[in-house]
Amino acid sequence: MTDLRTVPLLVFGPYNEDGLAGLREVFDVRQLERRDIALLPEGERPVIRALALGGHLPNEAMDLLPNLEIIGHFGVGYDGVDAAHAASRGIAVTNTPDVLTDEVADTALALVLMTVRDLVRAENHARSGEWERSGPFPLTPLSLRGRRLGIMGLGRIGLAIAQRAESFGLAIEYHNRTRRSDVDYGYHASLRELAEAVDILLVAAPGGAGTERAVNAEVLRALGPKGVFINIGRGSTVDEPALIEALQNGTIAAAGLDVFADEPRIPDPLRALQNVVLLPHVASASRDTRIAMGNLVTENLTRWFLGETLASPVPESENAGLVRRSDRAR
């Protein structure tokens, strides 16, 4: 049996502290605090057999690790890792689905409420003493009553959001690449058609070339002047300049954003707007959930080197037959 403490594992860049502690209990961990493979001495690169990270891994960095077998991605969205390129080299990739679904769905509904009811400014009205000085906070023009929620990306997280939203009385419609056969929600073959049909458009889709700037000026115009846009997916799914313009000129009413195109940098015009709620990418950011994510990364890496089936390989790895270590030699 493989002694996992002898397996050299590279942590590529900043990593959750609880997750890092879990990896150190099992593997021979080397860490680069910045995502720069040049910081790893050339003599150590052939030694690395596993890699853990949360974020972007350039193919050039991957290719400088000739004996890399598996990449454990800390997060459900793995668009920062070219899993197809990894599969072409016989490298398995895993992610952390399911364990963060409920936390993200809870945050999504909170963001909807904060945005529709303008609760951030209402809280500031109370905290600042403005309530006492100037009287009640103005009535909010928007409400959830009688509204339709459109979800772009009805996967695990999107479905969990839809189920929660139903309890608020919201009617649900969605857009996916393909229609789901296990739900009765209204399906729209295009994102523009979905935006036109709903009052709140919520993105729960992954990043990548297939969704790059999918929410564009045309989609925002279709959402309309009473429409609300919510994004807890990826900042890359939105044409951010078009969104800013739509918020500035009243093309849409408001937006609630947990993700941005160039995190952690948020454009000044977006930060200056009063009709937008901004969160610093915290949808899954509870310690309990992050511990569960770290545990799943460790479990996948452990299973690989013990010759067991991976708990959560990404589709590219599954399609390449890379679900256990013995498959790699075939």
Separation CA 137–CA 114 (nearest Å): 15
Q: Tokens 């936390």 appear where?
A: 103
Please answer whether residues 98 and 156 qualify as being in contact, where contact means their C-beta atoms are separated by less than 8 angstroms: yes
Is 234 designated active site?
A: yes
Is 265 designated active site?
A: no
Both tokens of 224, joined, read 């309309």
Neighbours of 269 (CB within 10 A): 13
Q: Which of 115, 114, 52, 102 is nearest to 302 (CA)?
A: 52
Separation CA 275–CA 107 (nearest Å): 19
CA atoms within 13 A on the CB side of 50: 26
Specify the 3-state DSSP secondary structure of 66: coil
Catalytic residue among 25, 44, 123, 263: 263
Please answer whether residues 88 and 321 qualify as being in contact, where contact means their C-beta atoms are separated by less than 8 angstroms: no
Q: Which of 233, 111, 162 is nearest to 215 (CA)?
A: 233
Is 192 designated active site?
A: no
Catalytic residue among 147, 175, 234, 303: 234
Both tokens of 6, joined, read 């002898």
Catalytic residue among 45, 156, 213, 281: 281
Separation CA 122–CA 117 (nearest Å): 9
Cα 204 versus chain centre, distance: 8
Q: Active-site residues: which are they? A: 234, 263, 281
